[in-house]
């Protein structure tokens, strides 16, 4: 249709900006008033908010003495845990109450409860940041009174360092004392070890002194001797038996038996001669039975027999002695390795104690030196890199930021309201809306110009825009002042407050 | 009928009060009840001086862009409107009564109607009659810098032919029938059989004459709904940023049964129109003016 050939510039994406501008233009009064209201509210708020000054000190931490001293001997807590402990220590009740006392903050306090409150509030407001990489921590505190802020930070830093230095002193004293104690202990232990070795030596000296080879030789020799003695004993025993069987009755019996044996070779047993002999033998035997003892005692008391007997006895004793020796030697042989191992063990123990003892002794010397250094303050483990100074620029409120945010939010909200109104507004805003109804658009007639009215309207809109621009400029001026840190407004406020106070007086 | 008589009385009283000194003789022939044609002629002649004066004043009326700023974008748009309407109305016989209306008050019906009428009247082959049927708050006469004298309501009440109230504007072949005296029962008056007859008479008097009827808004009042069915075609005027979509829907619903020829979108802001066209027109205009 030729009727619908009106293309609408507002529909084009490139004209979106134009559309928004038009929206603003239609409701410029609203837009400017909202934007300015929010901006000025932000400015006022930024001046109304209580000023806070933040003081900050930076402290450098060095490695702890004791950890160097007992490195490799004892396990000490790591740097990280130490740094973490700093935070806890710093915000401890003891520290904070010391700070409060040092700064006479407790003058106005009534009782312990309010002191607790104060400590709690301080704890909440003191910020401790740790930079573990650089081994640095910083203490920050913000207050409306810049001097107080500085004092709190510096006092806390001082108190903490004093505390930690004194504890370090104590630590190094304790370290030396600990080392001394340990040295004593180890000395005792070494002595004990040595005594043990001595005792052992005394207890099993024989075993330890004897040579295994020699002992074995001795055993062999003794065994040979025993053999020889045994032979002698056997010979003597034989001669003793000979002596015993040499009584007359027995000799007769032996002869008779010999004869009988010869006879038996020739005759049977029932031979009369044999029988005769048999009875003679029996007779002899009876004789021996009846009179043998008398005969034996005669033999016993004979000097030969006595001689043999004594000889045998002596040899027996010798043999017994030798056997005992062997047994003893065998026992010794068993004991030798065990005893030597035990001795080795004891010696090693003593050696260990000695090594630690020597280390401790050398460390003790070091610790003496470091203690001296501590006492002369040559080894400081805390160094205040940056003591807090009186902050001149308040840390909060961040006025430039609040103002900038005010400007941004002002424009944003104003535009948002305009945009919303535009969206809410159900009226037909362009020709396209008509197309939905299926009515051909025959003509699009622009606003008919009324020169007078137009002039009025443009003057009015110019005035509105001017007001907006001036307002924005004023806000920007405030912003610039704050940005450059010119405290002009604060001075004016202070002066006017003073004037008001005077009036009230 | 008594109400009509009351209205008649009131109207005549009002008229006698508001009579201007210059056309002293206008009341005479009306009261005598002369033949319509004569009286019409007389009134035409007698008001000639007044017309030229009005014409001169109309020259300064900025709303009449079709007459006073023929090179402007608005005039151009009215010409487009005229052409498309002429094309549409000649398609199936000659439909010469056009009702200009809108959903709500103040969307630019009268301005559109007057400018459309002027635009049509400037063509040589059409005579145009502009009827202001917005009796409640007539405004066409103001735009044309004329008086709201003896007009439509009076003609209807008295049963007089409309030629009695018709006035030549001096702008091309444009005649104007003003709204006439205010009456209490506008709705009934415009829905009456007499109105229908009058309209039919207007339509058929001159075959090539366009009749542009300015009307009250559709949504608050009932008259336009009737008028729209009497007229051959309806031109819907829609002002940017005024009527809501729902209003427009209601309006179209209310005008059902009539022949909606199309819409005229008025008071378009700069963003809606092509900026380039604007610039071009401006350039052209200044160039032309030089």
Residue range B143-160: mean pLDDT, rounded? 88
In terms of C-beta distances under 8 Å and separation of at least 24 residues, what long-range contacts does B23-29 make, across chains too?
B23/B47, B23/B50, B26/B149, B26/B150
Q: Which residue of A has its CA nearest to B61?
A: A450
- Cβ-Cβ contacts under 8 Å between A and B: the total is 120
Q: Which of B206, B248, B200 is nearest to B101 (CA)?
A: B248
Q: pLDDT class for B30, splitting at 50, 70, 90? A: very low
Q: What is the pLDDT of residues A371-381, one digit of tens each?
A: 666 555 444 46
Residue range B1-25: mean pLDDT, rounded? 50
Q: Residue A494 has which token pair?
A: 């202070």
Q: Which residue of A has its CA nearest to B76?
A: A445
| Chain A residues closer than 8 Å to B263 by CB | 434, 439-442
The Cα A445–Cα B239 span in angstroms is 9
What is the structure's pLDDT at B130? 92
Residue range B20-44: mean pLDDT, rounded? 40
What is the structure's pLDDT at A206? 74
What Cα–Cα distance (Å) separates residue B274 from each residue in A434, B36, B71?
17, 51, 17
| Chain A residues closer than 8 Å to B265 by CB | 431, 434, 441, 443-445
Q: For residues B31 and A435, which has the higher predicted lDDT (pLDDT)?
A: A435
Interface test with A, best of B271, B274, B280 (most A CBs within 10 A): B271
Residue B259 contacts A where some CB pair is shorter than 8 Å: no
Confidence check: pLDDT of A301 > 90: no
Interface test with A, best of B76, B228, B268, B278 (most A CBs within 10 A): B268
Confidence check: pLDDT of B45 > 50: no
Residue range A79-91: mean pLDDT, rounded? 74
Cross-chain residue pair B271–A451, CB shorter than 8 Å: no
What is the structure's pLDDT at A53? 85
Instruction: Report DSSP letters for B152-213, one per residue.
Output: HHHHHHHT--GGGTEEE-SSTTEEEE---S--S-HHHHHHSHHHHHHHHHHHHHSTTEEEEE
* Range of A430-439, B60-69, B206-215 with top mean pLDDT: B206-215
Cross-chain residue pair A445–B236, CB shorter than 8 Å: no
Confidence check: pLDDT of A4 > 60: no
Residue range A327-334: mean pLDDT, rounded? 86
Residue A447 contacts B where some CB pair is shorter than 8 Å: yes
Q: What is the pLDDT of residues A156-208, one digit of tens each?
A: 888 888 877 777 677 777 777 888 888 888 889 889 988 988 888 888 777 77
**Among A18-22, A164-168, B130-134, B281-285, where is mean pLDDT lowest?**
B281-285
pTM over 0.85? The answer is no
CA B122 to chain A, closest CA, distance in angstroms equals 18
What is the structure's pLDDT at B51? 65
| Chain A residues closer than 8 Å to B246 by CB | 426
Residue range A127-142: mean pLDDT, rounded? 79
Cross-chain residue pair A433–B235, CB shorter than 8 Å: no
What is the structure's pLDDT at A433? 72
Nearest CB to B272: which of A2, A8, A439?
Answer: A8
Residue range B154-166: mean pLDDT, rounded? 87
Nearest CB to A442: which of B62, B84, B248?
Answer: B84
What is the structure's pLDDT at A79? 59
Share of chain B above pLDDT 70, in %: 72
Cross-chain residue pair A431–B267, CB shorter than 8 Å: no
Q: For residues A415 and B16, which has the higher predicted lDDT (pLDDT)?
A: A415
Confidence check: pLDDT of B41 > 70: no
Q: pLDDT class for A340, splitting at 50, 70, 90? A: confident
What is the structure's pLDDT at B6? 61
Structural contact between residues A82 and A64, judged by C-beta atoms closer than 8 angstroms:
yes
What is the structure's pLDDT at B27? 37
Q: pLDDT class for A410, splitting at 50, 70, 90? A: very high
Mean pLDDT of chain A: 81
Residue A102 contacts B where some CB pair is shorter than 8 Å: no
What is the structure's pLDDT at B22? 39
Confidence check: pLDDT of A449 > 70: no
Burial group, residue A441, by CB count within 10 angstroms (0-12, 13-18, 19+): buried
Confidence check: pLDDT of A327 > 70: yes
Q: pLDDT class for A80, splitting at 50, 70, 90? A: low
Cross-chain residue pair A22–B268, CB shorter than 8 Å: no
What is the structure's pLDDT at A68? 58
Torsion of CA B252, B256, B258, B261, to 10 degrees: 30
Sign of the torsion angle spanned by Cα atoms A159, A164, A170, A176: negative
Structural contact between residues B52 and B86, judged by C-beta atoms closer than 8 angstroms:
no
What is the structure's pLDDT at A35? 93
Nearest CB to B262: which of A436, A440, A448?
Answer: A440
Residue B74 contacts A where some CB pair is shorter than 8 Å: yes
Residue B86 contacts A where some CB pair is shorter than 8 Å: no
Residue A15 contacts B where some CB pair is shorter than 8 Å: yes
What is the structure's pLDDT at B18? 45
Residue range A64-87: mean pLDDT, rounded? 59
Q: What is the pLDDT of residues A13-35, one digit of tens each?
A: 555 777 788 788 888 899 999 99
CA A46 to chain B, closest CA, distance in angstroms equals 40
| Chain B residues closer than 8 Å to A429 by CB | 240-241, 272
Cross-chain residue pair A442–B262, CB shorter than 8 Å: yes
Ordered strands of the A53-61 beta sheet:
A127-131, A136-143, A53-61, A382-386
Residue A431 contacts B where some CB pair is shorter than 8 Å: yes
- Would you tell me which residues 94-123 of chain B have a C-beta closer than 8 angstroms to some C-beta of chain A? 108, 111-112
Q: Which of A88, A173, A156 is nearest to A382 (CA)?
A: A156
Q: Residue B10 has which token pair?
A: 């009131």
Burial group, residue A491, by CB count within 10 angstroms (0-12, 13-18, 19+): exposed
| Chain B residues closer than 8 Å to A19 by CB | 271
Cross-chain residue pair B264–A442, CB shorter than 8 Å: yes
**Among A231-240, B26-35, B37-46, B61-70, where is mean pLDDT lowest?**
B26-35
Q: What is the pLDDT of residues B213-265, one digit of tens each?
A: 999 999 998 888 888 888 889 999 998 888 888 888 899 999 988 888 888 88
Helix axes A451-484, A488-504, angle to 10 degrees: 90
What is the structure's pLDDT at A304? 81
**Among A13-27, A97-111, A354-368, B74-88, where is mean pLDDT lowest?**
A13-27
């Amino acid at each position: 249709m030729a009727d619908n050939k009106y293309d609408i510039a507002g529909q084009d994406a490139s004209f979106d900006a134009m559309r928004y501008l038009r929206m603003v233009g239609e409701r410029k009064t609203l837009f400017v008033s909202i934007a300015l209201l929010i901006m000025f509210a932000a400015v006022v708020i930024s001046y109304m908010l209580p000023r806070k000054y933040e003081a900050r000190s930076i402290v450098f931490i060095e490695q702890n003495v004791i950890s160097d001293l007992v490195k490799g001997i004892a396990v000490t807590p790591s740097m990280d845990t130490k740094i973490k402990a700093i935070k806890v220590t710093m915000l401890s009740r003891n520290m904070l109450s010391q700070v409060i006392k040092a700064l006479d903050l407790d003058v106005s306090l009534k009782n312990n409860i309010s002191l607790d409150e104060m400590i709690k509030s301080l704890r909440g407001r003191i910020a401790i940041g740790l930079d573990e990489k650089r081994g640095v921590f910083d203490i920050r505190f913000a207050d409306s009174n810049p001097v107080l802020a500085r004092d709190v930070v510096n006092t806390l830093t001082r108190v903490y360092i004093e505390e930690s230095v004194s504890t370090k002193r104590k630590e190094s004293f304790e370290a030396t004392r600990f080392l001394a104690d340990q040295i004593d202990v180890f000395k005792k232990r070494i002595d004990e070890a040595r005594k043990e070795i001595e005792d052992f030596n005394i207890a099993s000296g024989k075993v330890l002194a004897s040579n295994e080879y020699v002992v074995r030789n001795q055993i062999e020799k003794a065994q040979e001797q025993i053999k020889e003695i045994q032979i002698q004993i056997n010979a003597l025993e034989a001669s003793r038996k000979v002596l015993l069987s040499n009584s007359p009755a027995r000799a007769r019996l032996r002869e008779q038996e010999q004869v009988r044996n010869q006879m038996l070779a020739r005759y049977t047993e029932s031979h009369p001669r044999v029988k005769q002999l048999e009875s003679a033998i029996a007779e002899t035997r009876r004789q021996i039975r009846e009179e043998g003892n008398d005969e034996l005692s005669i033999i016993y008391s004979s000097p030969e027999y006595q001689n043999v007997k004594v000889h045998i006895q002596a040899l027996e004793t010798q043999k017994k002695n030798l056997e005992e020796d062997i047994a003893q030697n065998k026992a010794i042989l068993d004991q030798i390795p065990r005893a030597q191992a035990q001795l080795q063990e004891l010696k090693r123990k003593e050696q260990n104690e000695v090594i630690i003892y020597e280390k401790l002794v050398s460390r003790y010397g070091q610790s003496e030196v470091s203690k001296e250094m501590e006492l002369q303050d040559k080894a400081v483990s805390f160094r205040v890199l940056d003591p807090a100074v009186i902050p001149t620029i308040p840390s909060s409120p961040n006025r430039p930021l609040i103002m900038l945010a005010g400007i941004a939010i002002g424009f944003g909200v104003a535009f948002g309201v305009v945009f919303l109104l535009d969206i809410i507004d159900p009226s037909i805003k362009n020709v396209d809306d008509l197309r939905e109804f299926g009515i051909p658009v025959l003509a699009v007639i622009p606003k008919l110009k009324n020169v007078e009215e137009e002039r009025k309207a443009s003057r009015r809109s110019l005035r509105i825009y001017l007001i907006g621009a001036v307002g924005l400029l004023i806000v920007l001026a405030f912003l610039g002042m704050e940005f450059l840190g010119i405290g002009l407004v604060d001075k004016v406020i202070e002066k006017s407050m003073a004037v008001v106070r005077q009036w009230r007086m | 009928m008594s109400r009509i008589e009351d209205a008649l009385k009131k109207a005549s009283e009002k008229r006698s009060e508001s009579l201007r000194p210059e056309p002293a003789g206008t009341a005479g022939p009306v009261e005598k009840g002369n033949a319509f044609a004569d009286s019409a002629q007389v009134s035409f002649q007698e008001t000639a001086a007044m017309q030229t004066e009005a014409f001169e004043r109309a020259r300064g009326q900025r709303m009449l862009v079709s007459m006073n700023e023929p090179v402007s974008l608005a005039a151009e748009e009215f010409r487009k409107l005229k052409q498309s309407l002429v094309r549409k109305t000649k398609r199936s016989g000659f439909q010469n009564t056009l009702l200009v209306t809108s959903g709500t008050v103040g969307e630019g019906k009268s301005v559109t109607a007057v400018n459309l009428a002027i635009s049509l009247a400037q063509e040589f082959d059409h005579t145009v009659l502009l009827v202001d049927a917005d009796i409640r708050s007539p405004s066409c006469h103001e735009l044309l810098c004329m008086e709201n004298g003896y007009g439509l309501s009076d003609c209807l009440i008295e049963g007089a032919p409309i030629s009695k109230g018709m006035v030549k504007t001096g702008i091309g072949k444009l005649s104007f029938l003003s709204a006439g005296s205010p009456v209490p029962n506008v709705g009934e008056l415009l829905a009456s059989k007499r109105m229908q007859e009058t309209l039919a008479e207007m339509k058929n008097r001159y075959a090539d004459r366009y009749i542009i009827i300015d009307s009250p808004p559709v949504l608050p009042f009932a008259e336009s709904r009737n008028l729209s069915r009497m007229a051959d075609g309806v031109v819907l005027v829609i002002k940017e940023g005024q009527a809501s979509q729902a209003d427009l829907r209601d309006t179209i619903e209310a005008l059902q049964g009539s022949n909606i020829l199309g819409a005229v979108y008025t008071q378009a802001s700069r963003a809606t129109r092509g900026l380039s066209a604007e610039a071009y027109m401006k350039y052209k205009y200044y160039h032309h003016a030089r």
